[in-house]
Amino acid sequence: MTSVAGDRIEAAREAVRNRAWETAYRLFTEADAEELEPDDLLLRASAAAWTGHMDEKAPNLERAYAALVEAGRPAQAAAVAAELSHDYANQLQPVVSNSWLARAKRLLADEPEAPEHGYLALEEALRAQKENDLDGAIAFGRRAEEIGRRFGDRGLEVRGLQRTGAALIAKGDVAAGRSLLDEAAAAAVGGELDPYSTVVVYCNTIGACRDVADFDRAGEWTDLAHEFCTSSSMSAFPGMCRVNYAEVMKFKGRLSEASEEAVRAGEELRGWLPRVAAAAFYELGEIRLRLGDLAEAERAFREADEFGRHPEPGLSLLRLAKGNAKAAWASIRRAIADDGLTAPVRVRLLPAAIEIALAAGERDAAAPLVEELAEAAERFETSAVKAQAAYAKGELALADGDPGAAFGALREARRLWDATGATYDVARARELLGLAARADGDEESAVWELRAAAARFERLGALRDADRVAAHLARDGARQVTKTFLFTDIVRSTELLETIEDRHWANVLRRHDDTLRAIFSDHGGEVVDHTGDGFFVAFEDAAEAAHAAIAVQRAVDQEFVFDVRIGLHMDGALARGENYHGRGVHAAARVGAAAEGREILATVETVDGLDVPVSEPRPLALKGIKAPVETVAIDWR
């Protein structure tokens, strides 16, 4: 070994010890590859992985494997083979993956038991669970845990514990499984594990929370994982983390933000981790389905399918949205008939199966599914599943002509979804509450709930849902009006919440709301809807709307630490009582969503002739509107 290469390799080793992965990767790359020892090749593979150079991980592991075999270190070579088997499985190369697993087993067959046997057991536990051999997965997980404990390998012990917990949850024993996962997660948070094991535990904990629809905890663990990777200079993991974050944001109703994260995750992962990319594309399909973009939803589901993710229940819900209830029922019926489904996967399918069955007139098929979902809610003990079960009970009661029972169940669903911030699902519950009230002869309550649902769908950008509710309201004496609609939104409020205590954030939001309401009142604005961090306001006069928007940006600039984006659009709409619906409202909401932080974006016709300084026009493509819309930015400074 030359002295220069030796110095670089020693410096690279020191960088690994300090978790300076970028430096380690650069120094290992600069060193002569021929002079790297097997252990250095393993470190170089880790540095490549944590810095996002995933295409270089496998070649380094394969070279390390060959060097370890040649050096007479079969146990360590077997551990590398098991890791390669795992990576190639994630890359959807089963033949290559199986060959590496076979090598690992062969090398360890005559070796005395060591930690490497435990790492092989981890991979076998994962494979057994994928094949729905849950008892086998539990046995392998316990074997890994026991070997880790006996040899003092805390990372192996905890990962074995977590494998067992995941298999127990998949088997339906949620309480026992969650207990083991919590124990494993505590070890990660407590700093007891090596970096790789810490990331694995975080990732699996997030997955387990997602499996049982515990989205509050999933969001918390996603934040912790991201913080750990950032502090440890691990740039690759956030790509996987985005898939989880996208699902949490979808549940919270932050559909635009969820869409952005899912797109980024899919593009980042499609090349080196297609199995996880498939999950990103599936999430994107569900998000676009909620946004009413059926063509793009279908495209995302197709991409998920190509990468190995069966696109249910999204694909069946897409068919229902297209008006083909019969085909939707046929496909979802086949999905739930699969005997190999784990308990969490089946629970994810049941709400869609119930909705589709009732839409297809299959009431008798829906009834036992409602009962099954209620039983699952008792086992899972998460608010989201309890809300889904209550909603399904309300759907069935409404179909059975019992609006009183439906109203009670749907009110419980709304309460549970409200408590967890599931904005989109709250709107769904309120829509059915309105229909239940109408069926019960209470038209005043029906209109109240339906207006609230329509306003919420419009703010979220769920255009098809908003149009459907508007059709429900058509009997309510709607009148055509022309208004200037204003939408505001705090930019990246979720990220801000991470840095501010809940009680302080609540005080900041209260001051924000009071300030904006006072400005809108001064300019004759009518607050139509307010959801958390944004307003939907209607103005008779476009000039007053523009000056209100300017006043809002100036007030926020002087008093608050965050940025606000504002959209303005003048158009016709249907007025029903104190609410507004229609394409004009949709367009205004989309203009608001397209604005940047600290920007007032307005359509050209809205500010035409007004005495306000504006930028040069730029075309803007709005979802749900065929032709691009000309917009300008108002200079409020």
What DSSP string runs through 561-596?
SS-EEEEEEEEEEEEETTEEESHHHHHHHHHHHHPP
The identity of residue 500, as a single letter, is I
Structure confidence at residue 365 (pLDDT): 95
The pLDDT > 90 percentage for the chain reads: 52
More confident position, 145 or 275: 145
pTM of the model: 0.68
CB under 8 Å to 172, separation ≥6 — which residues? 343, 379
Which one is predicted more confidently, 262 or 234? 262
Q: How far apart are the first and last CA of the chain?
A: 64
Alpha helices in 91-236 (DSSP H): 94-108, 115-130, 134-150, 154-171, 174-189, 195-211, 215-231
Q: What is the spatial distance between Cα 536 and Cα 528, in angstroms, rounded to a whole number?
A: 5
Residue 606: pLDDT over 70: yes
Instruction: Give pLDDT, residue 342.
Output: 87
Is the confidence at residue 250, as pLDDT, over 80? yes
Contact 633, 619 (CB under 8 A): no
Cross-strand pairs, 535: 530
Please give the Cα distance from 276 to 107 (Å, whole number): 30
Residue type, 261: E
Whether the predicted pLDDT of 216 surpasses 90: no
Q: What is the pLDDT of residue 32?
A: 65
Residues 21/50, Cβ–Cβ less than 8 Å: yes
For tokens 């049982």, the residue is: 212
Given a contact cutoff of 8 angstroms between Cβ atoms, the answer to whether 69 and 256 are in contact is no
Domains and CATH numbers, the chain: 477-637 (3.30.70.1230)
CA dihedral over 136, 137, 141, 142, signed as positive or negative: negative
Ramachandran quadrant class, 213 (left: phi over 0; alpha: psi -120 to 50; beta: rest):
left
Distances (CA, A) of 325 to 144, 352, 425: 47, 12, 21
Q: Which residue has the higher pLDDT, 312 or 456?
A: 312
Cα(5)–Cα(2) distance, integer angstroms:
5
> Tokens 């501010």 correspond to what residue?
500
Q: What is the mean pLDDT of the chain?
A: 88
Residue 130 pLDDT level (bands cut at 50, 70, 90) = confident
pLDDT at 48 exceeding the cut of 80: yes
> Residue 595: which of 637, 545, 634, 540 has the closest Cα?
634
For 153, the enclosing helix (H) or strand (E) is none
Name the least confident of 194-198, 339-343, 362-366, 426-430: 194-198
**Reported confidence tier of residue 549, pLDDT bands at 50, 70, 90:** very high
Reported as a pLDDT band with limits 50, 70 and 90, residue 235 is low
SS3 110: coil
The DSSP H or E segment spanning 44 is helix 38-50
Range from 64-78, 275-289, 395-409, 621-635 carrying the lowest mean pLDDT: 621-635
Highest mean pLDDT among 11-20, 195-204, 274-283, 389-398: 389-398
Q: Are strands 564-576 and 600-603 parallel, antiparallel or unpaired?
A: parallel
pLDDT over 70 at 168, yes or no? yes
What is the model's pLDDT at position 410?
Answer: 96
- pLDDT at residue 493 tops 90: no
State the pLDDT at residue 332: 97
pLDDT per residue as tens digits for the range 515-530: 999 999 999 999 998 8
Q: Give me the pLDDT at residue 80, please.
A: 95
Measure the CA–CA gap between 323 and 391, rounded to whole angstroms: 22
